[in-house]
Amino acid sequence: ETIAAGFANSNAFFVGNAKLEKMSIKEAQICALASGDRLEDGSCNWNCIDLPDPDAKGFDLPECDTCTGLSSGMKRFIALFSGQASGDSSDQKYIEALPTGHFQGSSKTWSCRSPQAGLSMPHYPGSDWCRIYSEGCDSSWHIQSYGVALWIKQRGFTEVGWWPSWPANFCGSQPFDVDTFQIRVKVVE
């Protein structure tokens, strides 16, 4: 409920569901950033994903007890990415074929996507699977195949970053430390 009400602290903020509901959202993105990895021009290494409209795509989104006042699938999707999934660990949902693209100046996407890793989820060129969990699990969401994740309940590692058991034997070394996550919206004017 704390996330749904909105909050601001030294390392994170969320506007809250009441303000989110008042927005006329035209487009939304989720963005991951490696603030310690600088490009040649001095800018940070980042990548943003355009969020598809979950209503139009027919996504089966997980439970969200705090999302009842949100009027669209997109607003609910944003709330879920803020860490508001509810239910128990059996309410994991896979959002398939989420387009990811590459980080700036790198061939790295949001996940390992290694066919040699023996992963059970199929992969699509230029996209990854996103798994959204309830808060009862280790993370609130992560991009399948050892990708970027958000942990609401910390287990001794950071809130945002690569999946902690990165398989270097399949994926190679992690090229940079992803440490920032943002949800950006463009509103109708």
CA distances to 48, 109, 111, 113, 133 from 126, in Å: 13, 9, 11, 10, 23
User: Identity (one letter) of the amino acid at 169?
Assistant: N
- Residue pLDDT tens, the chain, 189 long: 688 999 998 888 999 999 999 999 999 998 989 888 888 898 888 888 888 888 888 777 777 888 889 999 999 989 988 888 776 555 566 666 566 667 887 777 777 654 434 444 444 444 456 666 554 555 577 777 777 888 776 555 568 887 776 666 666 666 678 888 899 999 998
pLDDT for position 100 = 67
**Is there a contact between 137 and 89 (Cβ–Cβ < 8 Å)?**
yes
CA distance 29 to 34: 17
Burial of 98-120, coded b for 16+ CB within 10 Å and e otherwise, reads bebeebbeeebbbbbbbeeeebe
